Amino acid sequence: MEELPQFPDWLPPPVQDGYGFEPVSPLISTDLQGGGTIQRRRYRSTPTNGNLTWTYFDDLQAQSFMAWVQEIIKDGQLWFEINLKTPEGYFPYKCQFREMYEGPTLMGAKYWSFSVPVRLYRRPVISGGWALYYPEALRYMDIIDRAVNQEWPNSQYQTFMDVFDYGVNQEWPAP
């Protein structure tokens, strides 16, 4: 399987102010003769559409973005991976341009803005049965995270893990 091109880490990420996503409906409905309708799920995994905007602080960043789009993702034809903030968290998502970007648009004296409609390969929804089997864990996830990472002291095994590793790897005879 071919590895996806990555959005360049030396370029600023998309502006997060005001961007949103719109999932493609996974439902299909059939009209009945009596006037009612039946709805059913057509797909389990559907893409999500959205708009991303980038602001670049100098000409070199704007040129780099345009060159990356043209040469690496073939003017938006290829899927690529980019880190995005969604309700699921800040994660890499498989993404593709739906159309060519708008821009560069000069903002002020030296900033450049680009805007593009994109398609995320999947909806940014937590999966794995959490809502079905562990709804309370979802409800209290922030409390659990805070307790595990801030309130609980380090385990004694974590504290002395380097000594344990040394003892196992250096002092025990090899079989």
Which pLDDT value is given to residue 169? Answer: 64
Q: Parallel, antiparallel, or unpaired for β 89-97 and 21-23?
A: unpaired
* Cα three-residue angle 143-93-83, rounded to 5 degrees: 70
Q: What are the tens digits of pLDDT across the range 104-153?
A: 999 988 899 999 999 999 888 877 777 777 777 777 777 776 776 666 65
The one-letter code for the residue type at 108 is: G
Domain ranges of the chain: 1-125, 131-175
- Give the C-alpha separation, 116 to 143, whole Å: 37
Q: Token pair of 66, please?
A: 């345009």
DSSP classification of residue 175: -
Lowest mean per-residue pLDDT among 27-36, 120-129, 142-151, 160-169? 160-169
Q: What does CATH list as the number for 1-125?
A: 2.40.30
- What b/e readout covers 37-64, taking b as 16+ CB neighbours within 10 angstroms? eeeeeeeeebbbebbbbbbbeeeebbee
**Closest C-alpha to 27, from 17, 35, 37:** 37
Which pLDDT value is given to residue 109? Answer: 87
Which pLDDT value is given to residue 1? Answer: 55
Which pLDDT value is given to residue 154? Answer: 63
Which pLDDT value is given to residue 43? Answer: 80
Query: Higher model confidence: residue 136 or residue 36?
Result: 36
Residues 6+ apart with CB under 8 A from 78: 4, 5, 72, 96
| DSSP H/E element including 31 | strand 27-31
Which pLDDT value is given to residue 64? Answer: 95
Which pLDDT value is given to residue 162? Answer: 66
pTM of the model: 0.72
Residue 12 has pLDDT above 60, yes or no: yes
Residue 40 has pLDDT above 80, yes or no: yes
73-83: average pLDDT = 94
Q: Is-contact 5 72, C-beta < 8 A?
A: yes
